[in-house]
Amino acid sequence: PSVGDNKDEL
Amino acid sequence: MNIFRLAADVLHVVSIFLLLLKIKTSHSCAGISLKTQFLYMIVFSTRYLDLFFTKPWHSALTFYNTIMKILFLSSSAYTIYLIRNRYKHTYDKVHDTFRIHYLIAGSAVLALVFHIRLTPFEIIWAFSVFLEAVAIMPQLLLLQETGQVENITSHYIFCLGSYRALYICNWIWRYFMEHRRNQWLAWACGTVQTLLYADFFYYYILSQRQGKKLRLP
């Protein structure tokens, strides 16, 4: 998915 | 990666370890809410869909995240297996009565209304964030119903709550050091989730000071 830097956490 | 984030993740792993240790050593899952574990399973499996799309070796952080995601998914599945199969007879079904379908439906509606972008993955991600915020509620209700809490169970919830509190420190850090903005959804839900533990924290610290078992009023 187009996660970008927004989903770098758990 | 900063020290708060790392400490938070370590506490999350410790909490899972404590939960499994409690079940294994006492040969019982008394006081453990199957419903909360089930909600975590939904949270992890909806949030970590990117496991199918992300290359683990893309960067050190991706590799770390991938290992953690697999660990969270497999440990919650294993916990559910233990409660539903091996230690089924010790499961406190009578008190574990929280109506989780309201939580699931509520999170789904909220995700449809509030999301970062109108794409299936973003909506599913938002759903997992909303659901995680309230997933501990059946566990807290179960403890309140039964009153007396085993030490190791209270440590489990304390670690889980501290993990969320440290994530808030991590966000404050990243806000100032990495100028990371526009994370309102995760911030809001993370704060609500941490607040849910506040009451529990109070009684936990009280019981630790007095060197007694935790008793919830």
Question: Cβ-count burial of B67 within 10 angstroms (0-12 exposed, 13-18 middle, 19+ buried)?
Answer: exposed
CB contact under 8 A, B121 and A1: yes
pLDDT higher than threshold 90 for residue B54 = no
Amino acid identity, residue B85? N
Chain-centroid distance of CA B74 in Å reads 14
CB contact under 8 A, A6 and B116: yes
State how far the alpha carbon of B204 is from the alpha carbons of B135, B153, B159, B192, in Å.
19, 11, 11, 19
**How many pairs of residues across A and B have Cβ atoms under 8 Å apart?**
31
- Dump pLDDT digits (tens) for B117-166: 899 989 999 999 999 999 999 999 999 888 878 888 999 999 999 999 99
Residues of A in contact with B117 (CB under 8 A): 2
Mean pLDDT of chain B: 94
Please tell me which of the candidates B50, B72, B170 has its beta carbon nearest to residue A1. B50
What is the C-alpha radius of gyration for chain A, rounded to an integer number of angstroms?
6
3-class secondary structure, B149? strand
If you write DSSP's letter for every residue of B16-63 in order, what string do you get? HHHHHHHHHHHT--TT--HHHHHHHHHHHHHHGGGGGTS-GGGSHHHH
The helix (H) or strand (E) run that includes residue A5 is: none
Judged by a CB distance cut-off of 8 A, whether residue A4 touches chain B is no
With cut-offs at 50, 70 and 90, classify the pLDDT of residue B181: confident
- Dump pLDDT digits (tens) for B187-200: 999 999 999 999 89
Q: Which of B74, B75, B93, B101 is nearest to B32 (CA)?
A: B93
Residues 6+ apart with CB under 8 A from B160: B11, B12, B15, B136, B197
CB contact under 8 A, A9 and B186: yes
ipTM of the shown complex: 0.81
Residues of A in contact with B170 (CB under 8 A): 9
Beta-carbon neighbour count of residue B131 at 10 Å? 24
- Dump pLDDT digits (tens) for B61-111: 999 999 999 999 999 999 999 999 999 999 999 999 999 999 999 999 999
State how far the alpha carbon of B20 is from the alpha carbons of A7, B24, B71, B82, B167, in Å.
28, 6, 13, 9, 23
Q: Which of B171, B182, B185, B195 is nearest to B4 (CA)?
A: B171
What pLDDT, on a 0 to 100 scale, did the predictor assign at position A6? 58
Q: Which two tokens stand for residue B144?
A: 């309140």
The whole-angstrom separation of Cα A7 and Cα B117 is: 13
The whole-angstrom separation of Cα B209 and Cα A2 is: 48
B213, B207 Cβ separation under 8 angstroms: yes
Amino acid identity, residue B2? N
Residues of A in contact with B186 (CB under 8 A): 9
- Dump pLDDT digits (tens) for B88-101: 999 999 999 999 99
